Amino acid sequence: MPRFHPLEVTDIRRETRDAVVVTLRPREDAAPHFKFTQGQYLTFRREFDGEELRRSYSICAGVDENCLKVGIKRVDGGAFSTWANEELKPGDTLDAMVPQGRFFTQIDPASARTYLGFAGGSGITPVLSIIKTTLAQEPNASFTLVYANRQVSSIMFREELEDLKNTYLGRFSVIHILDGEGQEIDLFTGRIDAEKMEMLFRLWIDAESVDTAFICGPEPMMLTIAESLRQAGLGDDQIKFELFASSQPGRARKRVISKQAAAAGNTCEVSVTLDGATRSFQMPKDGTAVLDAAIANNLDAPFSCKAGVCSTCRAKVLEGEVEMEINHALEDYEVRAGYVLSCQCIPLSDRLVLSYDE
Ligand code: FES
């Protein structure tokens, strides 16, 4: 189960007016835990006004850079991102969980794959990690990035992307699409919608040659792009998604109590195994999530987004039945095997046996 470790901030670089790149270093004994795969993220925790906030930010470094770097864009009203942009400084310590996430495909140095990446705003952070790692470790791979922003000044990693184009001449190309600033070519102005996707495929990108597409950005943009990719002939197994941080509401939406749950009885006897120890407690069947009930009963259950996005709260149901409200994180085969996102689960049965250790 993922645990928190202290990371020292070794550098902070302002990337755009409202985004910083933070470089972090684990203590020597924890360093092996912070080896990451391209596209993964770190979950941080910090108290604000007596309340603990947890926020996830994608690692923007490539695997070969041998350092931990995250991009943090300030979100309006976002306590953590505002604090990181305005107050965080080198020498400070941040508590972070070990890298998590499955927004990647296995690297195969012998392959000659064609990749396509779509990023919206700060959704570039995991995609950048994937681009750098893939181009470095798959010498015959090529990568096209379609990157949507409001205007030139809000483009994160603009210089780094230019440098990558020069380093990987002929293997890496970037298409910037701006919706707040006109460009000479109409194709590059406006939002990424179905029409824009159709134009991109007709004029710029050969969809048939694409092996894998990575998409990270706001949900509506991702759904539009994914649908266009499917219509262009890509299968679901060729399309990888990552919802980006500001799409995560931070806590689960209010639940509608299912009639089945209300009729079956008022409480559920829950037994939870965590780090080898099993604890039992009663929880109401009133729409409360299993994770919230576990935390209320002083269990140190893992979580980050509480919105069904990150899978940090993944657990396995060994006995009983639950209803999972939102699932943006688990694959179908995991759900079939009994895995659930405990932040999104309400019990349906009178007894529930759940393990975070499976
Ligand atoms: Fe992120 Fe449950 S805490 S999916």
Residue 21 contacts residue 53 (beta carbons within 8 Å):
no
Cα 340 to averaged position of ligand 1 atoms, centre (Å): 10
Residue 91: the pLDDT is: 97
Fold type of domain 259-355: Ubiquitin-like (UB roll) (3.10.20)
Judge if the beta carbon of residue 312 lies within 6 A of ligand 1.
yes
Residue 264: the pLDDT is: 52
Q: What is the value of pTM for the model shown?
A: 0.85
Cα 306 to averaged position of ligand 1 atoms, centre (Å): 4
Cα 309 to averaged position of ligand 1 atoms, centre (Å): 6
Q: Quick one: 5-96 is in which CATH superfamily?
A: Translation factors (2.40.30.10)
Burial 107-143 (b: 16+ CB within 10 A, else e): beeeeebbbbbbbbbbbbbbbbbbbbbbbbebeebbb
Fold type of domain 114-245: Rossmann fold (3.40.50)
Distance CA 109, CA 144 (A): 18
Residue nearest to atom 4 of ligand 1 (CA): 308
Judge if the beta carbon of residue 301 lies within 6 A of ligand 1.
no
Select from 53, 300, 343 the residue to mutate for testing ligand 1; criterion: most ligand atoms less than 8 Å from CB: 343
The closest of 92, 5, 88 to 43, measured between CA atoms, is 5
CA 13, 53, 356, 328 torsion-angle sign: negative
Residue 354 contacts residue 1 (beta carbons within 8 Å):
no
Other CB atoms within 10 A of residue 222 CB:
23
Select from 241, 312, 326, 335 the residue to mutate for testing ligand 1; criterion: most ligand atoms less than 8 Å from CB: 312
Cα 228 to averaged position of ligand 1 atoms, centre (Å): 28
Residue ranges covered by each domain of the chain: 5-96, 114-245, 259-355
CA 311, 63, 14, 175 torsion-angle sign: negative
Residues 6+ apart with CB under 8 A from 139: 109
Q: What is the atom index within ligand 1 of the atom nearest the CA of 56? A: 1
Judge if the beta carbon of residue 313 lies within 6 A of ligand 1.
yes
- Tell me the sheet residues that pair with 42: 57
Cα 98 to averaged position of ligand 1 atoms, centre (Å): 15
Judge if the beta carbon of residue 302 lies within 6 A of ligand 1.
no
Q: What is the atom index within ligand 1 of the atom nearest the CA of 311? A: 4
Other CB atoms within 10 A of residue 161 CB:
19
Cα 171 to averaged position of ligand 1 atoms, centre (Å): 36
pLDDT tens digit at each of 358 positions of the chain: 678 999 999 999 999 999 999 999 999 999 999 999 999 999 999 999 888 889 999 999 999 999 999 999 998 888 999 999 999 999 999 999 999 999 999 999 999 999 999 999 999 999 999 999 999 999 999 999 999 999 999 999 999 999 999 999 999 999 999 998 777 788 899 999 999 999 999 999 999 999 999 999 988 899 999 999 999 999 999 999 887 544 444 433 444 445 554 555 589 999 999 999 999 999 999 889 999 999 999 999 999 888 898 889 999 999 999 999 889 889 889 999 999 999 999 999 999 999 999 9
Two domains, one topology: 5-96 and 114-245:
no
Residue 260: the pLDDT is: 53
The closest of 45, 46, 6 to 26, measured between CA atoms, is 6
Cα 76 to averaged position of ligand 1 atoms, centre (Å): 22
Residue 265: the pLDDT is: 58
Residues 6+ apart with CB under 8 A from 66: none
